[in-house]
Amino acid sequence: MRKLNYILFGVPIVFFALTFMASAFGAEYEVEMTENGFNQSSLSISDGDVVTFVNTHVLSNGIPVPHAISDPFAVPYTELSYWILQDNVLSQSYTLDCSGYVFYDRFIEPNPSVEITCGENQTTSNTEEDTDTYDLTSLQSELMGLTADYTAAVEAIALLQQEVVGLEAEITVLEAQEFDTTPYENQIASLESQVSTLTSEKLVIEIDRDVWKELSDGWYAVAMEQLRIMVDVLGL
C-alpha cells in the first residue's frame, strides 16, 4: 500500500517537472541566409524561443560565401553590429523575448531583413528579387574577368573590321580588272556577320561589367563603414 502511495505521489511531480521543462526551454526556429538574402521575411515566436540563423550560401567549389547577421545584443551596440558567418562558423543563435526584432544581412546591399515578433507561429516567405552575392575578392575577380572579355571582344572586332576593309579594297581592284568578285563578297558578308555577333556580345559584357562594378563599389562602401566604426566607436 505504501509503495502505491509513493507511485501516486510521484506522478504529479513528474508531470510538473515535464511541464516546467517545456516552459523553461522555448521552441527553436531556423532562418536560412542564402545568396538572395533570408529564406523568409518574417517570423512569429513566443517569449524565450531560440532563433538560429544559418548561412547556407555555398559556392560550387564547396566554399561558403560570408554573410553577416546583425547582433542586437552587441556591446557597445550600433546599427551595423553583426556576427560574420563564414568558414567553420556558419550559424548564430539568439534567445529572444517579445520586444520585437529586425535582423539584417549586412553583407548584401541593400540589406535584406527578417522581422521577428511574438504571436502565432507562422513564417512569411521572402519573395524579393534574386541578387547574387559574393565577397569583395570574388567581385573584383569577376570584374577583372569581364574587363578582359570586353577587351578581347573589342580587339576581335577591330581585326575583323580591318580584314573587311582589306577585302573591299581587293574587290575594287578586281572589279576594275573584270574578275569575278563573288567569293570575296561572300567572305565580307561572313565577316560582317561575325562583327555583328561580337558587337552584341560586347554590349552584354558591358552590361555585366557595370553590374559587377556597382556591386564592388557597394562592398567597398560597407568595408569603409566597418573601418570607421572600428576606429570611431570601438577605438581600435
**Range list of β-strands (E), 87-175:** 91-95, 101-104, 113-118, 123-125
pLDDT tens digit string along 62-101? 889 999 998 888 887 777 788 889 888 899 999 999 888 9
Higher pLDDT, 218 or 58: 58
Comparing C-alpha atoms, which of 138, 130, 137, 96 is closest to residue 116?
A: 96
* CA dist list (Å): 146 to 139, 159, 210: 11, 20, 10
3-state secondary structure of 50: strand
pLDDT number for residue 31? 96
3-state secondary structure of 116: strand
pLDDT number for residue 156? 84
Confidence of residue 201 (pLDDT cuts 50, 70, 90): confident
Spatial separation of the C-alpha atoms in residues 52 and 181, rounded to whole Å: 74
In one-letter notation, the amino acid at residue 171 is I
Confidence of residue 24 (pLDDT cuts 50, 70, 90): low
Long-range pairs of 77-82 with CB within 8 A, sequence gap ≥ 24: 78/229, 78/233, 80/106, 80/225, 80/226, 80/229, 82/106
Domain 27-125 CATH class label: mainly beta
pLDDT tens digit string along 110-135? 888 999 998 754 455 554 444 444 55
Does residue 50 surpass a pLDDT of 90?
yes
The pTM of this model reads 0.43
Spatial separation of the C-alpha atoms in residues 194 and 153, rounded to whole Å: 11
Sorted by where each begins, the domain ranges of the chain are 27-125, 136-232
pLDDT number for residue 49? 93
